[in-house]
Amino acid sequence: MSELRIAVLLVLLPLLLANVYGAAKNQQPAVTYDGRSVIVNGSRELLFSGSVHYPRSTPAMWPDIIRKSKEGGLNLIQTYVFWNIHEPVEGQFNFEGNYDLVKFIKLIGEEGLWVTLRIGPYIEAEWNLGGFPYWLKGVTNITFRSYNEPFLHHMKKYAEKIINLMKEHKLFADQGGPIIMAQVGVAGEKMQLYTEEGSKKAQWTEFNGTPTPLTWYKAYFDAPEGDNPVALRMTSMAKGMVWINGQSIGRYWVSYLSPLGKPTQEEYHVPRSFLKPTNNLMVVFEETGGNPRKIEILVVNRDTICSVVTEYHPPHVSSFDLKENKLRYNVNPIKGAHLACPDKKIIEKVEFVSFGEADGACGAFIAGKCDSKKAHKLVEKECLGKTECTIPFDRKTLLEPGNDPCPDVEKSLAVQVKCGVGGGSKSDA
Ligand SMILES: *[C@@H]1O[C@H](CO)[C@@H](O)[C@H](O)[C@H]1NC(C)=O
Ligand SMILES: *[C@@H]1O[C@H](CO)[C@@H](O)[C@H](O)[C@H]1NC(C)=O
């Protein structure tokens, strides 16, 4: 394994360095590091990174996702670059729509966040064939992810294409852009590359009710009315991939059960922008077997919203410093539980409040033993009739004076409210 890694890094590292640092021959590089930290623009930085995979959402969704990542405490967004969507046919590149990598990175930069770009070529992200384009399998004498001439030839061309694109749009830090790190390599732990052979043999079948492995299905459906988000409930299937009107919705794997005996995800978001009013083509590639007739198209009602804040979640660390040789954390104080209705709706009903040991999740909270009676009244007072509200998070406000049912328990505040247009309940539940 290490032999493979070294071989490929030798080929690509000079290429990367030449491009990333090419713009700044005589000045201090924008990004460097020493034994203590990464240094960006001359100042030591703590990087809080999270992954956002641009092709899994649409450009219309990106600003909100990026803003929420920032509000959640990140200063760096990491993404893979997905070779097979950008080069579906050898030499023909696609950077349109939700494949618009340049736009995605510019939006991150505009929010004041940095980017690490993982160019691949092999990626591990529940993505078909590890991100390799299918045509790559047809290259004579190719061996994936190895020191193999045909493989290196194609991956180098792809990596150069991406790096040059980033350079052309001045997206690297040394050009004033937000990309502070880029990674190219064949480092990867698993060699599960040959598991997709079945896709070649795939053929359309008239579904006769018997689940079969490695089968393609297609169906047409009309878009549900309204603006609420649309999702597919894939519970009747097992493991595979879905496309709507040619756009990938991603991989599903509902046959893999968590220790709770349920799939970790059953519903898959279909962006409204993928849909036409009628005759939308759904294509499913099922790897093991399931009943496609029972796939459901759902409208997700976002009128029920929740907020959970706990005493045991550490608050965001904003910086570290040394005092008398001891490392100190400087944290952003927890402000409280914030609720905001979509589409300027107002909070019509407080459905659940617990300051104590509530369990469960939004839509299915379960009260615990030491709930405070006062918290419910407080939420009603602060939130009813408003578009948004914040409940302060401290024991003094949330408990009756001198009446803490279990003072030694670390508590959570869980709130669930229902939004509506006001003046009665004409809801679309
Ligand atoms: C592929 O490999 C075979 C066996 O090593 C060799 O004879 C052949 O010339 C190779 N083909 C190409 C196009 O490199
Ligand atoms: C470095 O500072 C310059 C000037 O303030 C700024 O334009 C640039 O975006 C910064 N670079 C990074 C990577 O933060």
pLDDT tens, position by position, 286-328: 777 888 889 999 988 788 999 999 888 777 777 788 888 888 8
Cβ atoms within 10 Å, residue 263: 17
Q: What percent of the chain has pLDDT over 90?
A: 40
Cα torsion 227, 362, 249, 63 to 10°: value is: 70
Token readout for 74 is: 């990140």
Å from CA of 123 to ligand 1 middle: 28
Over 70: is that where the pLDDT of 201 sits? Answer: no
What 8-state DSSP symbol labels residue 252? E
Nearest to 9 by CA among 183, 130, 138: 183
Q: Over the stretch 348-359, which tens digit does the pLDDT of each residue have?
A: 999 999 999 888
Mean pLDDT of 18-36: 59
Residue closest by Cα to atom 2 of ligand 1: 141
Query: Among 32, 41, 116, which residue has the most ligand 2 atoms within 8 Å of its CB, making it the best to mutate?
Result: 41
Q: Over the stretch 90-148, which tens digit does the pLDDT of each residue have?
A: 999 999 999 999 999 999 999 999 999 998 788 877 888 888 998 998 898 888 776 67
Please report which residue ranges of 372-416 form alpha helices under DSSP H: 373-383, 395-398
How far from 283 is each of 132, 168, 292, CA to CA, in Å? 21, 36, 10
Å from CA of 172 to ligand 1 middle: 40
Mean pLDDT of 42-63: 93
User: What is d(CA 346, CA 331) in angstroms, rounded to the nearest whole number?
Assistant: 32
Residue closest by Cα to atom 4 of ligand 1: 141
Higher pLDDT, 287 or 267: 267
**Contacts of the segment 399-408: beta carbons below 8 A, 24+ positions apart:** 399/355, 399/372, 399/374, 399/375, 400/372, 400/373, 400/374, 404/370, 404/372, 405/356, 405/369, 405/370, 405/371, 405/372, 406/356, 406/357, 406/369, 406/370
Please state the pTM of the whole predicted model: 0.58
State the ligand closest to the CA atom of 30: 2
**3-state SS assignment for residue 74:** coil
Å from CA of 41 to ligand 2 middle: 6
Å from CA of 377 to ligand 2 middle: 48
Q: Is 181 in the pocket of ligand 2 (CB under 6 A)?
A: no
* Predicted pLDDT of residue 423: 61
Nearest-atom index, ligand 1, CA of 150: 14
Å from CA of 193 to ligand 1 middle: 22
State the ligand closest to the CA atom of 143: 1
Cβ-proximal residues to 163 (8 Å cutoff; 6+ apart), any chain: 15, 16, 19, 20, 119, 182
Q: Is 213 in the pocket of ligand 2 (CB under 6 A)?
A: no
Contact 417, 350 (CB under 8 A): yes
Å from CA of 422 to ligand 1 middle: 73
Mean pLDDT of 178-204: 47
Q: How many helices (H) and strands (E) does the chain have?
A: 8, 23
Cis amide leading into 121 (omega within 30): yes
Å from CA of 105 to ligand 2 middle: 15
Q: Over the stretch 153-180, which tens digit does the pLDDT of each residue have?
A: 898 889 889 989 999 999 999 899 999 9
Cβ atoms within 10 Å, residue 269: 17
Q: Is 176 in the pocket of ligand 2 (CB under 6 A)?
A: yes
Residues in a beta bridge with 352: 416
Token readout for 129 is: 């064939």
* Predicted pLDDT of residue 246: 79
State the ligand closest to the CA atom of 112: 2
Backbone angles phi, psi at 211, to 5 degrees: -65, 135
Residues in a beta bridge with 250: 242
Residue closest by Cα to atom 7 of ligand 1: 141
* Predicted pLDDT of residue 196: 33
Nearest-atom index, ligand 1, CA of 141: 1
Mean pLDDT of 373-382: 91
* Predicted pLDDT of residue 49: 93
Q: Is 14 in the pocket of ligand 2 (CB under 6 A)?
A: no
Contact 253, 211 (CB under 8 A): no
Mean model confidence pLDDT for the chain: 81
Amino acid at residue number 338 = H
Token readout for 294 is: 């029972």
* Predicted pLDDT of residue 69: 95
